[in-house]
Every structure is written in C-alpha cells, then in structure tokens.
Amino acid sequence: MGILNVTPDSFSDGGRHDSSDAALARARTMEEEGASILDIGGESTRPGAAPVPAEEQLRRVMPVVQALAGQTSCLLSIDTRSAAVADQALAAGAHIVNDVSALTHDPDLASVAAAHGVGVVLMHMQGTPETMQREPRYRDVVDDVVAYLEERLAVCLGAGIDSGHIALDPGVGFGKTVEQNLALLRGLPRLAALGCPVLIGLSRKSFLGALVAREPEARLAAGLGAQAFAVLRGAHILRVHDVKETCDAMRIVDILDGTDS
C-alpha cells in the first residue's frame, strides 16, 4: 500500500503531493514500482495534528480519486475518519476505507462502508491525533489492542460489513511509546490469529527515529528491517512511502520464507 498524502503537513511527505498533478504523478510512480493499493489521504494524523473539516479533505482528495478511478490497476483506499469524505470517494470509485479511528470517530461511517460493500481497515488508536502521545497507558498493550480490534470487528460485522472485507491494524505510533510499538510488533501473531489480514504502517515513523537517531527521510533501512520482521510475524499489507525498495526487500523475504517459489 503506497501512501499518497494530499496534505500540506504530513510528517514525512507533507506538501510534496498537495497539488492534484503532483499527487497523480506520485500515484503513477508507485503503481510502476509495484504498489497494489494507493492510500489517498487529505488529513494528517501525525501526533498533535488538528482535525481537517470534511469539505477541505474533499477539496484535496476528490480530484485525485476521480482522476485515478478506473485508470489504475491499483485498488484505491481513502484514508479518512469522515463518512462524508468516504461516501464521495467510494461513489467516485475508491475500493477501501482506511480509518485510523476504526469507525469510532464518525457514527455514519460503518453504514457508508456497508452500503458500498467495500473493504475497511480498522486501526487502533488511543486518544486522538491531538492528544495520543501524551502518556499513553495500557494494562498490557498487546492484550488491549487485540481486544479492542476484536470488539471493533464485531461491531462492523453487526453493521453489515462483510468479514472478508476487513483488515486490522495495530496502529503503530498512534498513542504508543517506543516500547509499546515494539511489543505490538512482537505480538503480531496474536492479531493475525483473529483471522483478518493484518495491515501495518511503519514507514519512517518516529519510533524508528528514536531507535536509530535519524530524521524521517533517512529511516528507510530501519523501516525495511521492521517490515521484514512484521511480515514474518503475520503482517499482510505494508503501508509505505518507499514502494520500490519495500517491494524488493519483501520479495527476498517471501523467497526465503518459501511463500514465493
């Protein structure tokens, strides 16, 4: 899953793809580099970020979704917590809703996803982007995150979303300390045991920076190491900025692991 942030302020690629032309060029490059999914977002959810109104998200993402729908072999994912944004993006041809609030932020989003019959990514977050890195606390981070996602999965099934359409994401960096992120990576088999595909976003994240003391642009190698570990522990979908390098690295992991003969 290649990241396409049509935002001025994302933590690593903010301002790079915030015109439609730049976003479309980036989408084409990621498709050529091997992305299967493009995750299009108009709201940064980095720590401390304020919410972006639905009208502004729509202004940012809709030209990109409309230009790409039917014109790419990639699935299109809309990264939003807003039912209004998801509804319009899905009506224009997007295939997946990626919600960092696991459909808790907007009470209408579950019925929108069910009505469109599309894929849904449920991600765990403690708090909101504005508050989440202020002293995150868990009884046991792996138990708590798995229990939360199991409960959100049940709510989605109750809302009429097909079980085969749901992926689960532990939400690395969303209300977690460095140690809590590491525990979640080690505990991925517990999440995979819920039976849904596991998606994980590690690309350039600050816990990597804390471990190798590098700025976001220089965290590729650290991210590839973490992603190889995550795949061997049961992750299926990697949300990344660096598609080409990730595809090469994971090809080697798959060959060594015997899943690509």
Instruction: Name the residues that contact ligand HH2, by CB under 6 A.
Output: 3, 5, 7, 10-12, 41, 44-46, 79, 98, 100, 121, 123, 169, 171-172, 199, 201, 239
Count of CB atoms situated within 10 Å of the CB of 192: 16
Residue of 28, 205, 214, 251 with catalytic role: 205
Q: Print burial letters for 146-181: b (CB count within 10 Å at least 16), e (below 16).
A: bebbeebbeebeebebeeebbbbbbbbbbbbbeebb
And the tokens for 114?
């069910």
Q: How far is the CB of 216 from ligand HH2 (least distance, A)?
A: 9
How far is residue 134's CA from residue 237's CA, in Å, rounded to a whole number?
28
Q: How far is the CB of 199 from ligand HH2 (least distance, A)?
A: 6
Q: Which is nearer to ligand HH2, 226 or 258 (CB)?
A: 226
Q: How far is the CB of 123 from ligand HH2 (least distance, A)?
A: 4
Q: Which residue is nearest to ligand HH2 (CB)?
A: 201
Residue of 81, 176, 219, 239 with catalytic role: 239
Q: How far is the CB of 119 from ligand HH2 (least distance, A)?
A: 12
Residue 205 a catalytic site member: yes
Q: Which residue has the tokens 């809703």?
A: 97
Count of CB atoms situated within 10 Å of the CB of 135: 10
Q: Give me the DSSP letters along 52-82.
A: --HHHHHHHHHHHHHHHTTT-SSEEEEE-S-
Residue 239 a catalytic site member: yes
Q: Which is nearer to ligand HH2, 31 or 43 (CB)?
A: 43
Q: Exposed, middle or buried, 224 (CB in 10 Å: 0-12/13-18/19+)?
A: buried
Q: Exposed, middle or buried, 66 (CB in 10 Å: 0-12/13-18/19+)?
A: middle
Q: Which is nearer to ligand HH2, 60 or 116 (CB)?
A: 60
The residues with which 199 forms a beta bridge, in sequence order, are: 237
Q: Which is nearer to ligand HH2, 92 or 132 (CB)?
A: 132
Q: Which is nearer to ligand HH2, 110 or 255 (CB)?
A: 110
Q: How far is the CB of 256 from ligand HH2 (least distance, A)?
A: 25
| Residues designated catalytic | 205, 239
